[in-house]
Amino acid sequence: MLLSDPLAPSVPPLVQPPLPVVAGARGPGGAVVGYVVKSYPRFSETFVVRELVAREEAGERCVVASLRPPRDPRFHALLARVQAPVTYVPDDVRGGLVRVWEGLAALRTAGVVPSRAALDALLDEEPAVAAQAVGVARWAAESGVTHLHAHFASLPGRTTRLAALLTGLPWTVTAHAKDVFHDDVDPRRLAAVMADADGVVAVSDMTTAWLAQRHPAARLHRVHNGLDLAELVRSSPARRPAVVAAVGRLVPKKGFDVLLDAVALLRGRGVDVRLRLAGAGDGAADLARQVERLGLRSVVELLGPLPQHDVVALLRGAAVFAAPCVVADDGDRDGLPTVVLESLATGTPVVSTPVTGIPEAVVDGVTGLLVPERDATALADALQRLLADGEERERLSRAGRAHVEQRFDVRGQAAALRAVTAGVAAARAAAPTSTDPTSGVTP
């Protein structure tokens, strides 16, 4: 842990030994991009790892601050290519605001004098968030960070906003879906993140438009999450067996209960179909009971969580991939599931729903099929159509791969993020320097 603080609580051990850290050289012009995430590494957020690798391979220097230690024993093999060192910022707030003031004193020792506005913002936040923000600010100062970037506008975005105010560093945030759409999102906190960030990256056109309507002051950029397409080779689905694959966390927004109902309808029509569903989550027991209730035990496999290479093998062995995503009752929804892109890249046609950014990848009738959310009959009809027509699957497969190559290559994503970062730096350099002594961040 880079933060040397005798009062900091011990960080829970990693579930497996940490990966070796390679210091690496600074990026162009001595730039260092500091990533702030809630938990790293996180198996369901492989897009962060891909993004880091792509930026580093393009010559950028990155470091990572994680607000929580990892809890998932599964790790993506791609982690071995990440050079960025990781710091786990303590999330215990023993002593309440006393911990904040101690951290501020350490910042002053490091030569960082927060402005009055930064101190006011700290006092306006929850003590736990404020304390971690001070920790992130210390980490940034000690690591030579020149630009802060948060993934998710919720806790990471709020924390990074405060750390940026404390240090005066430019910062950006990537907004996904749950962090802006969920009912638990605090509108006031989100508005502050949107207004103060030097740049807001949204992962889909739909999210970009939604944010633009509600937060007109936000400096928005649409940058899709990307794939390393060299790792995903397309194969023809035309002669694959009648297997439907599905992958995702077993939570309401994935719509897997609707998928099970659709499979039951297909079996009732005499369609010889099998479903292989991979994932873990709080809804596992409910889905298992639904399988029993519908009499699908012989045709539905609940595979549990799978490592990435097994997920790819699952996709390549299926005739169709189903992503029946829904807007959950609490407002939670997917932005654009990475596994949908992976399925298109491997040549497996996708049946999904027009939720959030999905239509940007699954273009109805062109790269896949879209059906209304929560409509088991429409989902069954679409699956039956593709299962019965190998030529249609092949047509969608070729178009899907071409679409992903054009719009979702991680190298293009990394270039777009570099452009956003460079634009922020240029805007900061062109901005007039304040003469107000209460607004400066350095002595």
Q: Is residue 337 part of a domain?
A: yes
Q: Is residue 3 part of a domain?
A: no
Q: pLDDT band at 335, cuts 50/70/90?
A: confident
Would strands 86-88 and 62-68 be described as parallel, antiparallel, or unpaired?
A: parallel
Segment 90-110 shows an average pLDDT of 76
Q: Is residue 103 part of a domain?
A: yes
Q: Coil, helix or strand for 73?
A: coil
Average pLDDT, the chain: 88
pLDDT in tens, 273-289: 999 999 999 999 999 99
Segment 42-63 shows an average pLDDT of 92
Supply the CATH number for residue 308's domain: 3.40.50.2000
Residues 134 and 243 in one domain: no
What is the domain extent for residue 131?
28-226+410-430
User: CA 137 to CA 103: how far, in whole Å?
Assistant: 9
Place of tokens 């001595």: 30
Would strands 147-151 and 86-88 be described as parallel, antiparallel, or unpaired?
A: unpaired
pLDDT value at residue 182: 85
Q: Is residue 16 part of a domain?
A: no
pLDDT reading at 8 higher than 70: no
Burial grade of 270 (CB within 10 A; 0-12, 13-18, 19 or more): exposed
User: CA 190 to CA 149: how far, in whole Å?
Assistant: 16
Residue 221: strand pairing partners: 201
Residues 70 and 192 in one domain: yes
N-terminal to C-terminal alpha carbon distance within the chain: 28
Tell me the chain's radius of gyration from C-alpha atoms.
Answer: 23
Residues 354 and 244 in one domain: yes
Instruction: Name which residue leads in pLDDT, 331 or 23.
Output: 331
Residues 59 and 147 in one domain: yes
pLDDT in tens, 202-250: 999 999 999 999 999 899 999 999 999 998 999 999 999 999 999 999 9
Residues 257 and 201 in one domain: no
Residues 424 and 340 in one domain: no
pLDDT value at residue 104: 86
Residue 426: strand pairing partners: none
What DSSP character marks residue 183? T
pLDDT in tens, 292-324: 999 999 999 999 999 888 999 999 999 999 999
Residues 186 and 331 in one domain: no
pLDDT value at residue 434: 56
pLDDT reading at 443 higher than 80: no
pLDDT in tens, 166-186: 999 999 999 998 899 888 889
Residues 222 and 235 in one domain: no
Give residue 431's identity as a one-letter amino acid code: A
Residues 238 and 342 in one domain: yes
Q: Is residue 364 part of a domain?
A: yes
**Which has the closest alpha carbon to 318: 350, 272, 292, 281?**
350
Percent of the chain with pLDDT over 90: 73
DSSP secondary structure, 302-361, as one string: EEE---HHHHHHHHHT-SEEEE-----TTS---SS-HHHHHHHHHT--EEE---TTGGGT
Q: pLDDT band at 378, cuts 50/70/90?
A: very high
Would strands 274-278 and 368-370 be described as parallel, antiparallel, or unpaired?
A: unpaired
Q: Is residue 4 part of a domain?
A: no
pLDDT value at residue 7: 29
pLDDT in tens, 111-158: 888 888 888 998 899 988 999 999 999 999 999 999 999 999 999 999
pLDDT in tens, 69-90: 988 766 677 888 999 999 999 8
pLDDT value at residue 85: 96
Q: Is residue 371 part of a domain?
A: yes
Q: pLDDT band at 433, cuts 50/70/90?
A: low
pLDDT reading at 18 higher than 80: no
pLDDT value at residue 3: 33
Helix (H) or strand (E) holding 202: strand 199-202
Residues 99 and 193 in one domain: yes
pTM: 0.84
Q: Is residue 393 part of a domain?
A: yes
Instruction: Name which residue leads in pLDDT, 434 or 425.
Output: 425
Half-sphere exposure of 255 (CA within 13 A, CB side): 26
pLDDT reading at 421 higher than 70: yes
Residues 369 and 280 in one domain: yes
Residues 32 and 133 in one domain: yes
Count of structural domains within the chain = 2
